[in-house]
Amino acid sequence: EYRQLIGSVNELVGRINGRFGTIEYTPIHFLHRSVGFAELVALYAVADVCLITSTRDGMNLVSYEYVASQAQRHGVLVLSEFAGAAQSLDGAVIVNAWNIEEVAAALALALAMPAAQREASFRTLHKYVAKHTAAYWGTSFIAELTRVRHAADAAALLPPLPAADAAAAFRRATKRLVVLDYDGTLSATRTIPEFARPSPLALRTLQRLAGAALVYVVSGRTRADMDRWFRGVDVGLAAEHGLFYRHPPSAALGAEWRSLPAPADPLWRDAVLPLLQHYAERTPGSFVEMKEAGVTWHFRNADPEFGEWQANELRANLERVLAHRPLNIVNANKAVEVRPARVDKPAAVRAIVAELAGTTTPVDFCLAAGDGRADEPVFAYLAQEFAHVPLFTATVGRKPTAARYYVQDVDAVLSVLGKLTEPAN
């Protein structure tokens, strides 16, 4: 394959030089040999444009070397989107290397780029390259290894949730609050909503628990899904990561849906949706889910490695598109979600607790469980809010967490919740 490629390139070079070359001028110099360091740096330094058209590349150091050699000329870097460096070199002109017309247009753009724009793009590139050196990479890599080691040590010391102690404190209390994540906590995580409904066991457990406590289920699912799944169960609900929430009937605070503040401009979807749909088309197994206030790109059913690669690229592109809008780009579990700023689970839980505080009896028991990163700020908030009452916070699976305990899996969560309402021996 490589020999065939070299033959094709040689043929193309000969054809182009034969058509456009003269005795004094050769358009293309094809150097199919090793080049010494001094000569290579000299070529980098005098080049107006560096064109890199990799179709499969891990990192591509050529792009970094070119930028490092261009302090005087401020050359333009045209870089394939399939090179790993495309994720970090923000000032480059990014192209699809398979699209010949796009590459040609990018090359023409680079050659005709005004000096001021060339300099601005180069400054962005050089700032990144000058900072992220081999020494910086080595130092940050060692620091990350140390952090992971300490986090693993802390996770290994995390105790399991003491169900007997929680049940005893639950029975002694008079006003009990239970806050539960949904996906991965009450139900195994499913991408397709139709398959994510709670099991009969989960519904029976929640109904029994709701007879003795104020129970809230917090989810990233839509209001319609939550309404349908928990119809007839006396629990409070928070949908779309807390943007919408409502109290259980037993709280006597009204059963209507309430909402956290959202941006007034709905046109942000017009900027986001084409980008998400583009990644859905080019990532087999992924799809876009429209919600009332947010949009989510799911890649749970895509190839894991390729899905993560595409997700990282999508996040970088979304950050550029949404830089000045009041929106958050959230790394969900096998998903990338765009939703209004200041809307998250902690904000919803704070609003719920504040409204419960206006009732006559204070909360004197709290239990919270969740499995994701979005639940960690909830655990931290509850630790402050209920520092002087029995508090049991648990993450699903043993891992670094702000929770005080862990439970093994969804079955273990339902088992603990069931024991809360069992009569004392």
Write the pLDDT tens digit of every residue in 8-35: 999 999 999 999 999 899 999 999 888 9
pLDDT of residue 1: 73
Mean pLDDT value across residues 275-303:
89
pLDDT of residue 157: 81
Residues of the chain with pLDDT > 90: what percent? 58
Residue that wins the pLDDT comparison between 270 and 263: 270
Note the pLDDT tens digit of each residue in 363-396.
999 999 999 888 999 999 999 999 999 999 999 9
pLDDT of residue 192: 66
Find the Cα–Cα–Cα–Cα dihedral 260, 344, 264, 352, rounded to 10°. 0
- State both tokens at 111: 């050659």
pLDDT of residue 263: 55
b (16+ CB within 10 A) / e for 57-68 = beebebbbebbb
Residue that wins the pLDDT comparison between 326 and 143: 143
Note the pLDDT tens digit of each residue in 335-364.
898 888 777 889 899 999 999 887 768 899
Mean pLDDT value across residues 293-303:
88
Tell which phi-psi region holds residue 182, choosing left (phi > 0), alpha (psi between -120 and 50) or beta. Answer: alpha
Note the pLDDT tens digit of each residue in 190-206.
766 567 789 999 999 99
| Pairwise CA distance, residues 100 & 92, whole Å | 18
Q: Are 408 and 397 in contact (CB under 8 A)?
A: yes
Per DSSP, the three-state class of 47 is coil
| Pairwise CA distance, residues 353 & 177, whole Å | 9
pLDDT band at residue 416 under the 50/70/90 scheme:
very high
Query: Which residues are designated catalytic?
Result: 181
- State both tokens at 204: 């029976």
pLDDT band at residue 291 under the 50/70/90 scheme:
confident
| Pairwise CA distance, residues 296 & 289, whole Å | 5
H or E segment and range at residue 35: none
pLDDT of residue 334: 86
Note the pLDDT tens digit of each residue in 33-86.
889 999 999 999 999 999 999 988 888 899 999 999 999 999 999 999 888 888
b (16+ CB within 10 A) / e for 301-330 = ebeeeebebbbebbbebbeebbeebebbbb
pLDDT band at residue 270 under the 50/70/90 scheme:
confident
Mean pLDDT value across residues 304-315:
89
CA angle at residue 33 from 32 to 39, to 5 degrees? 110
pLDDT of residue 359: 73
Residues listed for the chain:
425
pLDDT band at residue 3 under the 50/70/90 scheme:
confident
Residue that wins the pLDDT comparison between 142 and 154: 142
pLDDT of residue 191: 61
pLDDT band at residue 332 under the 50/70/90 scheme:
confident
CA dist 309 → 12, 93, 279, 284 (Å): 33, 19, 11, 13
pLDDT band at residue 174 under the 50/70/90 scheme:
very high
CA dist 232 → 183, 208, 248 (Å): 20, 12, 11
| Pairwise CA distance, residues 289 & 256, whole Å | 25
pLDDT of residue 141: 93
Residue 174's Cβ-count burial label (10 Å; 0-12, 13-18, 19+) is exposed
Q: Are 80 and 57 in contact (CB under 8 A)?
A: yes
pLDDT of residue 386: 93
Note the pLDDT tens digit of each residue in 95-107.
999 999 999 999 9
pLDDT of residue 125: 94
pLDDT of residue 5: 85
> Considering only 186-195, 274-283, 323-332, which range has the smallest mean pLDDT?
186-195
- State both tokens at 13: 């070079």
pLDDT of residue 60: 86
Q: Are 69 and 61 in contact (CB under 8 A)?
A: no
Q: What is the DSSP string of 330-366?
A: EEETTEEEEEETT-SHHHHHHHHHHHHHTSSSPP-EE
- State both tokens at 411: 């079955």
Average pLDDT value over all residues in the chain: 89
- Confidence (pTM): 0.67
